[in-house]
Structures are given as structure tokens and as C-alpha cells.
Structure 1
Amino acid sequence: MIEFRNLADDHPDLAQSPLLRGALLTLRYARDHGAIGLTQTKAFKRVFVHWAVEHFEWPGRSAEEMFRFHKVINEYDFPALELVHFLLISLRLGRHFKGEFRLTKRGAELADCPGSLFAELIPYFVLQIDHASYARFDDRPVGTWDIWMNVINVEADHGTTEAALFETFYGEALDWHTAGWREMGAFSSCVLRPLVWAGLISEIRDDDLGGRVCHIFKTQLWRSALHLDTDDQLSPICVQ
């Protein structure tokens, strides 16, 4: 069982979710400016895309790095914004009307309610979206969110690695330098990355040890927002 707890709008741990932050910024921008302009293909116009790149603070996508390689950035160049756009339309928090993205009544209500927006956005994104649809490959890992999250709840409680988690689930010691790199890639893209973007886990990548090592930690938001069947298996965290 996966249960998302209701969090107050001023709960400090909500700030750990990149996806929630991006959605709030988009809703508030549309509210404050009346709408966000769309291209002929119904993507956000570049003026907003550039603003989003500068303000989203997306993991692994700093504005400085993106503008270093792209003088002009379209929505499809910034997958985080493409995802936020899709989610807001899917949840009917925004709509396309006469060449603009406009808020619905519900979207306007949630623009100042981070806790309520989290409750609608994050469970839908993590549990219902086909994460392989926007990944590099179409490969999908075997498993369910109930299994993945309950096991990660225990294994990553004091920190673990991407490779160790993969071995726990699938019994194979694979990494990015073995013949099973695509299986590792599917697991990383469809399980770990959504949890990072949701703000439920954090990654620390170490490329200085002769190979790519990814350390995985549960965030405080995970501990505040989730109630799982394996919670009773957790060891107390010692604070010194």
C-alpha cells in the first residue's frame, strides 16, 4: 500500500520537490500575466521557456549550463517544462484557448496552495504516468510501484546506491559499464528519476572513482509525505 499524507501549504519539506516548484511557478506566471503564449504546435513560447529555465532550478539542468549550449531554447529542449505543461493540462489545471495557456478555476485555486497541489500532482505523476514514454528508450523495468517504493523505503533509509537497489530487485549486479546497461537505464529512468523529480529521493553522482556511482537517499519529504507498509521495518535515525 502507498499512502500520500496531506501536508499543510506551509510545510517546509514541500520545497524539496522540483516538480511541485515548477508547477507552482507555471501556474503563478499564467495567473500574474493573464496567460502564457503558445506556438502553432501548442508549446510554450520561448519567452516563457527562457524564464522557466532560469527559475525552475531543475536537478541537472542549471540555467547557466543550458544557455551555454543553446542560445535559443524551445520547450522540447527543456523536458522538465514539457512535463509540467503536460501534467497541468492532464489534471485540468490549465487549458489551451485561442493560442494561449490559461488557468482553469481549479488551477487558479491551487496556485497558492502547495500542499493541495502536491496531493494532486505528485501521486498522479509518480503512480499513473508511463515514465518510459519520455525516457531515452522504451524499455520498462519489471515491477510495480508498491514493490519498488516499499523496498526503497527500507534499503535507502540510510542511503544506498543505484546498483545496489537494482541488484536487490533483480538479483543481478549490473551497472552502466556492463552488458546490462539498458536494464539499469530502464530502472533509473522509470523508477529513480521520477522519484528524484518528485522530490522523494535525492541522488549524488560520483564520477571520480573510475566509474559512475550514484548514491540514493530518501529526502525528508519522503518521510513526511509517505506512509508505506514497510515503515515498521525502519531503524531509528540517530541524531548526534
Structure 2
Amino acid sequence: MWQHPDMITFHTLSDDHPDLAHSPMLRAALLTLQYTREHRAIGLTKTMAFKRVFVHWAVEHFDWPGRSAEEMFRYNKVINEYEFPPLELLHFLLIRLRLARHFKGEFRLTKRGADLAEAPGRLLSELVPFFVLEIDHAAYSRFEEAPFGKWDVWMNVINVEADHGTTEKALFGAFYGDGPDWDNAGWREMAAFSSCVLRPLEWAGLLVLTDDDLAGKKVDHVFKTPLWRSLLKLDTDAQLQPISVQ
């Protein structure tokens, strides 16, 4: 069990826990660590980015939400690391958490990284809390603007508001009021909230975001995944209503 100073508790899950499958970040990390171990290393460019041969492999295998290989290769036959933001971020995380290192122009595993390549539950405990709570998500967002707020407030409110599903607009309104929307002057505030709060939780595997067309208007729905329920312990858990089974 891991607890953040903001009183967000992350349980440690067993390596065979079925809910681990909901995390794109964990899946990508496992694939990268296992690929590195099998090939001994991954080649780096002069700027210390992954070489294109691995970038293309990652695009094809990560199965990243909203970034299918078919879609990405439709417009670009050659893809660099910076053009696949999830990989660029994962590269940083693996180095920052000392699961890998750069050595003589190659990306290589540390002993700890090699150990965690076969321990999904422990790897998730290392990766997800740090990624969600410690990374400056505004730094890699489109406008580099961060919404006002703290993770303990965001996650405790989302825990209740999205328990049976909600919309992105309704969730934003619970924190900041109902005025801003994607089709008015408040769209930048919506974008900052989406990029710095909802997207990290989606990439971690704690939320699912869906685009739906209702009466000709695009509506973004937000749902908690089973991983949210099994991984997190939050102050607002006592306010949740049981999910009815039809």
C-alpha cells in the first residue's frame, strides 16, 4: 500500500489481478521493459530519443486509446518519438524511476527494471502514483496551462461524480461552475482540465473517456474503470452507492 501526502492511498495489487489490464501506461511499460530485455537494449538517437524502429514497434503494439497504429500511420509513414507523446512520456518515467538508464547511446534496463518487467502489480505501484500525482501534466499539454486545484480534491470528487458515469462538462462544472464549454470562450479552461486531470487518469487506466454524438452534439462521457475501484482508497468512498446489477 502506498499513500500520498494528500491522503490518497494506492493499494498494491497482485501480479495476476485482472484489473491491471485496464492501464494503458502499465501495458506500455511492460512491453517496453520486456522488449528491452529481449533485445538487450534499445538504440537512441543523438538527442537521446528512441530510434524510429522502436517507435514504430511501440505504435503498433501499445494499443493506446485514441492513437491506433492505423490512424497514426495513415498520415505519417515515419514517426519520431516526440510525435507519439505517450512513448515520450513513458521514456522519461522509466528513466526518472530508475527502471532504465542511458548508456553508450542505448536504453538499457537497471536490475530493478528487469525485476519489475515480470511483476505487473509492483510495477503499477511504482508507475501510476508517480505519473498521476508528481508529473507536471501542463508541461506536455497543448497550451501549458494548469487548472486550479489539487489531486486529493479532484480525485475525491470524481470518485463520487463519475461513479455511475458522467459527462466531461458536468464534471468540470462540479469544480469550476457551469459556464465554460468547448463551444464558448471557456474552452481553454475545459482543455486545461481535460489535459491535466482527465487525460492522466485515462492514461493511468483509472478512467475511460468516450466521445458520443447526442442529437448532433459531441458529448464526452467519463467512467471509472474497475482499476479505480480496486486500486484507490479515498475519503469519499463511504458516499458511494452500490452499483445495481440488472
Verify: 1:226 aligned to 2:238, yes or no. Answer: no
Return 5+ residue gaps in structure 2 as ranges. Answer: 1-6
What does residue range 50-69 of structure 1 map to in structure 2 within 5 Å?
50-69=56-75
Q: CA RMSD in A?
A: 0.8
CA distance in 2, matches of 1:37, 1:125: 24
Verify: 1:102 aligned to 2:102, yes or no. Answer: no
Cα shift at 1:208: 5.5
Letter in 1 for 2:165: G
Write the deviation string for residues 171-225 of structure 1: whole angstroms up to 9, x where unpaired. Answer: 2332110110000000000000000000000011124543331000000000010
Letter in 2 for 1:95: R
Cα shift at 1:138: 1.5
2:171 alignment partner, one of 142, 160, 165: 165
Verify: 1:18 aligned to 2:28, yes or no. Answer: no
- Report the secondary structure of 2:201's partner residue: helix
Partner of 1:93: 99
Letter in 1 for 2:14: A
What is the aligned-residue identity percentage?
Answer: 73
User: Contact (CA 8 Å) 1:163, 1:173: kept in 2 or not?
Assistant: no
- Report the secondary structure of 2:107's partner residue: strand
1:123 alignment partner, one of 114, 117, 129: 129
Verify: 1:45 aligned to 2:28, yes or no. Answer: no
Letter in 2 for 1:42: M
What does residue range 58-207 of structure 1 map to in structure 2 within 5 Å?
58-207=64-213
CA distance in 1, matches of 2:96, 2:20: 22
Cα shift at 1:71: 0.7
- Report the secondary structure of 2:210's partner residue: strand
Structure 1 runs (4+) greater than 6 angstroms displaced? none
Select between 204-213 and 170-179 the one with higher mean Cα deviation.
Answer: 204-213
1:8 alignment partner, one of 7, 14, 20: 14
CA distance in 1, matches of 2:216, 2:105: 50
Write the deviation string for residues 24-75 of structure 1: whole angstroms up to 9, x where unpaired. Answer: 1000000000000000110000110000000000000000011111010110
Aligned length: 240
Return 5+ residue gaps in structure 1 as ranges. Answer: none
- Report the secondary structure of 2:122's partner residue: helix
Letter in 1 for 2:136: D
Letter in 1 for 2:116: L
